[in-house]
Structure 1
């Protein structure tokens, strides 16, 4: 009888730890803040990355033409 109580207690503790870890991962993955503001900010970042990539490609093309 004593073994079954310990096993269930251990199982309960393990389930609590697993659930706590799952909740922490979920909270970490969720983005906070206003949806529209976040979308605008993400868009600005992507546009800046694209602008830099276009400039780099143009510089590479110009360097090829010089050769």
Structure 2
């Protein structure tokens, strides 16, 4: 049953390569920091929008279901 063994070996090799690719950070220090700040800004904007929507619904501006 060499064919089954080949399949298992190939699967193990592929899993190892996939694990290596996930753990590699391709961003430099400044680029990583900039990305973190951009992501944080987007999340703050999203949260502010959600808070504004909740406030309008609480004030009676929302639609009733």
More helix by share: 1
Distance 1:62 1:31, change over 3 A: same
User: SS at the partner of 2:40?
Assistant: helix
Structure 2 length normalisation: TM-score?
0.55
Q: In the comparison of the two structures, how many residue pairs are matched? A: 57
Residue segments in structure 1 that go unaligned for 5+ positions in a row: 1-9
Residue segments in structure 2 that go unaligned for 5+ positions in a row: none
RMSD of aligned residue pairs (Cα, Å): 2.8
Structure 1 length normalisation: TM-score?
0.54
User: SS at the partner of 1:66?
Assistant: coil
